[in-house]
Structure 1
């Protein structure tokens, strides 16, 4: 691609594509390509000028790499074009910008060039839509804000004040457009954050199952999904049988069985079993539209505080109409009576509340926090208890294998090969550690087993090529559930296993073959985050882990936890949260694994770590990136600030509009001025509600 370097400074370059105008699609493709480069911190492309502003991670190393990448770039390269989002926010913004420009310029043109009679005719014609909406509401037996708007417009025209009627309609249209624009953008941002983050899938080939980048999968290819996997693409089941949770797509609470011939959708979850899917839609684009519909139709976007404000707004409409009628009866002054109609509480309340919530969700997204609805932010703000899983949450998501202790005369390399072969199918931090260790030691672990069965929070069971049954997992699973035994002459060796490590046990045909020692270091920021959460009002910070008592107690002491529980099962975590609810406490659950999903569902706000199991991310109400637990502190601050903003908006709207009505009734403000101040304050409140909740210094402290 040809380009010009317009300017460069420390870690920043400004480039220009020498073309008159980039199309919206071309701008999206170039921006997505630049942001996909590892040495680029952030890039923004302006389609009107063809300029690209690029911030580099390191200029010395990034500049030559960027220039080479630009030389390779082509707008017609399909692999590059696939990086661009299918649903362009840029295109959506352009549409709303054009609508807003047309609305403002149209009003200015009519005011400057239309004669008075034509302006009146235009106002009367425009009023039909608002009057019809008010009449429709009355015919349904409901007194809504549309009735108030229609009454205000009709009263102004009956008084011959067509200028005020026109101004009211213009401000209503402007407010509706701004509300729709902000709502649509926030929903699109949220849908994008909730969209699938599945990078690789198991592709069925003649040579066996191969881990493949999902972007290269095409219709007709076959992929393999197993227990706890999120189905990444739409398709038809051709082999196997699976119990699929479709709640995120269809709302069905009960999983459905999918057999050969059945259809499955991107974003649904395999709860049990496994199957081979023939892909019918490579991009899984239906997923995005389904999420948007889910967000728009779901009450999840409304917190309890929002609901109360909405109900109050509707309840105040009859009082406004009654006040106008009573004022006219007492004063016989139409101007004073119309003051009631020019000012309503519903418009501002119904604009500012959802904008506040959606803007908070957007701001959380800027910190790599994906929130599925306003009520979860409210839950985070009001929570008193937070529960942490240990592995992959309080500890790093990249534990490492430090030793493989063998039993029954086996070879450590062979034991690790079997373990990696079994664990590679389940994307959990411990499983990843075993697979990585095998790779580092140059151990090949080709498929050597039959169907793999995953037992939640316990382990994995399968049969090897020689038909021996192999199990790998926790002490409880291997020795209690599966009744495996330790070789008689090696029980002392087993007792001497180092207690500072977590252990995963491998047994074949009922006999222990290896204990894999896992070092799972605490996150560097964990202690600081726990202290910060205490200061932010969470008075019970707990850890629940399936690990042994010795390891759990050591971590609890280091982190100043209020409570900890060791060797727990998934149902224990969920039951603990139930007990907290019985005490009247709201609870946050933070985890990353399949075994955390019951607790994530039970909590008022379930928070999943992004590098954890796909099913945990799907079920959770909130997802944070795996980079730092400090995002929990940011999330709590955003939630608190959101509740404060909603309450502040509520008080301001009630107080300001009540003052306008009072000044109107007293004759201090004419109806046109009341309408202007009311609508102006509504827009100002809406715009303020769209601003960030946290100041820059608060971001840095978090």
Structure 2
């Protein structure tokens, strides 16, 4: 594809495709194809100008190469695009809304009054039928109020008022449907796999790490504890407990063995399995996510539910007020003024839009939120629990030194450790693998199948000897491995975290991990206190000495050392029993129980797949200031929702009062009511401050 670079800065470029026009489909192909490039972090495509903005961390030459060989006709690129996309959705609703508005004004200008009246009766039939259907089911809801208002207007010969009410109801329905579909689409696409590489098994049984984009139908992939299944397929060997909540909503893991079908986006909680890939791309996963979200109550916050229920409850009061006004005044115009003003439109439209706007604002700061109720939980939270490693510390710790005991070689010990750790993505495991890579130590598979013990370590067999790697608690206390009689072992550097490697029941080496604190951690915790968090807690599997030092540096209110996953979850349950609202932040497999237990679980984007899957919110790993923005936006959302309540009730209540007094005629009341609804809806779409 011939392109022209319009602007460029470090890690970012704006290019223009040298074509006359770009269709929506072509824009989607460009966006999804370029986003699939490893190292490209963000892609924005503007079909009207044929411009593309690309943010990247990979070498610039790689981006240039991808652009130069890019083609809209490539089957491989086309297969990356889901069946439905947000761009296409927006265009469809924009066209639908424009058609309704244009048709309304053309009819008023061209059609004679008798024809317009016939059209009004035809259009009214839909609303009246909807109201009657609701009454037959024994319910008094908003549709009854709409049907009554339109029916009474037509009965009185007030076609102008009836037409205005139906037009504004139609616009409101389109906007409501648009926001609902848009929110579902946004969530479906943000719940993306985030898997760039996968272990494939070759014909001779070797495991090779390759890009997920290189996997083809029929290939064998290996998925282990804590990892996400990247593609649909059938299990050919192994046993695993798979968390399918993102697909089916099931609350407990499902056992998968040979012959079972597994879905992309589900997570292996325990065990491992080899999967034959059956679907490499397409809209199947998107469709399943959409179906799950549509059936899930996660999308709505309690504030949205409250608004919806309140709107329906007010229907009986509006009908009662209309009847009472007519009985007292015998004035149909005054009575009709109450019917023209209902609270439902604004309440049911403004609240979901406010939540969607907040979720959109969050995405600008690298925050993905799976539903409005979690923003509400963050706003109400008074307790926040931090995991230490990869959260308060950097998600990319590094190996400072390797201390080998006996006659063992340090590089050989590091090579063995990397061979085990590469299968279980975690910040410390990644550090070991990276250290081996920097030294050029190749670590092909030379061990049998590995077993991951959550929050403890890894066990495997090498040359008929059991090899263990993990924490001091796991190696020494649980497995009773022999400690070396070596002065260096007794004087391990206190400033490092320690990873123990044992061979044949003896500690063979200790890998010292440098895990520097995030420089912004202390300031972030201070800001969280300012925004209403009264209790900040740090929980870590590290020893008391290391935990205390970190706690003092970052300024947490309390800390707990040498904790297990169940200890974190138990602490959160105890806080709930004390009447507190708790937010948990973590990045590892061991944080999953606590993330699930919290009112809002927050995962770091570079953390384990299962942590991201279980978490309700995911934040960027770049820095912790995203937490401050999340709390600020959540507080601002609740402030906006409360303002919406007061404004809607106050303004519409005033219109009803003026109508009953005869100051405002029904048509004017309807116009002001609907205008205020749209105004509040538009304000709810603005950026939160």
Please report the TM-score for the alignment, with normalisation by the length of structure 1.
0.94
Shift of 1:84: 4.7
Following the alignment from structure 1 to structure 2, what is the Cα–Cα distance between the partners of residues 299 and 75? 38
Does residue 661 of the first structure (1) align with residue 656 of the second (2)?
Answer: yes
Q: Would you say the 8 A contact 2:83–2:282 is kept in 1? A: no
Shift of 1:313: 1.4
CA distance 1:681–1:607, shift in 2 (3 Å): same
Following the alignment from structure 1 to structure 2, what is the Cα–Cα distance between the partners of residues 41 and 196? 14
Does residue 618 of the first structure (1) align with residue 619 of the second (2)?
Answer: no
Q: Would you say the 8 A contact 1:396–1:520 is kept in 2? A: yes
Listed as ranges, the gaps of 5+ residues in structure 1 are 695-702
Matches within 5 A, 1:329-340: 329-340=327-338
What do the CA deviations read for 1:154-190 (whole angstroms, capped 9, x no partner)? 0100010111111100000001111211221222112
Secondary structure class of the residue paired with 2:88: helix
Matches within 5 A, 1:193-592: 193-207=190-204, 208-283=206-281, 285-464=283-462, 466-487=463-484, 489-490=485-486, 492-592=487-587
What do the CA deviations read for 1:12-43 (whole angstroms, capped 9, x no partner)? 75735332x32211122234456677998976
What do the CA deviations read for 1:588-614 (whole angstroms, capped 9, x no partner)? 110000111111111111100010110
Q: What is the match of residue 134 of structure 1?
A: 131
Q: What is the match of residue 167 of structure 2?
A: 170
Q: Would you say the 8 A contact 1:266–1:286 is kept in 2? A: no
Shift of 1:493: 2.7
CA distance 1:286–1:53, shift in 2 (3 Å): closer
Secondary structure class of the residue paired with 1:661: helix
Q: What is the match of residue 51 of structure 1?
A: 50
Of 651, 671, 681, which aligns to 2:676?
681
Q: Would you say the 8 A contact 2:637–2:688 is kept in 1? A: yes
Does residue 89 of the first structure (1) align with residue 89 of the second (2)?
Answer: no
Secondary structure class of the residue paired with 1:588: strand
Shift of 1:294: 2.2
Matches within 5 A, 1:593-604: 593-604=588-599
Shift of 1:8: 5.8
Following the alignment from structure 1 to structure 2, what is the Cα–Cα distance between the partners of residues 44 and 252? 35
Q: What is the match of residue 645 of structure 2?
A: 650
CA distance 1:204–1:16, shift in 2 (3 Å): closer
CA distance 1:270–1:53, shift in 2 (3 Å): closer
What do the CA deviations read for 1:613-656 (whole angstroms, capped 9, x no partner)? 10000001111011110000000000000000110000110011
Q: What is the match of residue 697 of structure 1?
A: none
Q: Would you say the 8 A contact 2:249–2:292 is kept in 1? A: no
Following the alignment from structure 1 to structure 2, what is the Cα–Cα distance between the partners of residues 17 and 357? 39
CA distance 1:40–1:202, shift in 2 (3 Å): closer
Secondary structure class of the residue paired with 2:298: helix
Following the alignment from structure 1 to structure 2, what is the Cα–Cα distance between the partners of residues 401 and 66? 31
Secondary structure class of the residue paired with 2:259: coil
CA distance 1:679–1:547, shift in 2 (3 Å): same
Shift of 1:524: 1.4
Q: What is the match of residue 19 of structure 2?
A: 18
Following the alignment from structure 1 to structure 2, what is the Cα–Cα distance between the partners of residues 321 and 230? 54
Secondary structure class of the residue paired with 2:406: coil
Number of residue pairs the alignment of both structures matches? 685
Of 102, 107, 115, which aligns to 1:105?
102
CA distance 1:468–1:14, shift in 2 (3 Å): closer
Following the alignment from structure 1 to structure 2, what is the Cα–Cα distance between the partners of residues 27 and 91? 10
Q: Would you say the 8 A contact 2:399–2:512 is kept in 1? A: yes
What do the CA deviations read for 1:245-270 (whole angstroms, capped 9, x no partner)? 22222222232221111111112221
Following the alignment from structure 1 to structure 2, what is the Cα–Cα distance between the partners of residues 71 and 498? 51
Listed as ranges, the gaps of 5+ residues in structure 2 are none
Q: Would you say the 8 A contact 1:403–1:518 is kept in 2? A: yes
Shift of 1:82: 5.0
Following the alignment from structure 2 to structure 1, what is the Cα–Cα distance between the partners of residues 423 and 311? 53
CA distance 1:39–1:482, shift in 2 (3 Å): closer
Secondary structure class of the residue paired with 1:512: strand
Shift of 1:110: 0.8
Q: Would you say the 8 A contact 2:82–2:282 is kept in 1? A: no
Q: What is the match of residue 143 of structure 1?
A: 140
Shift of 1:302: 2.1
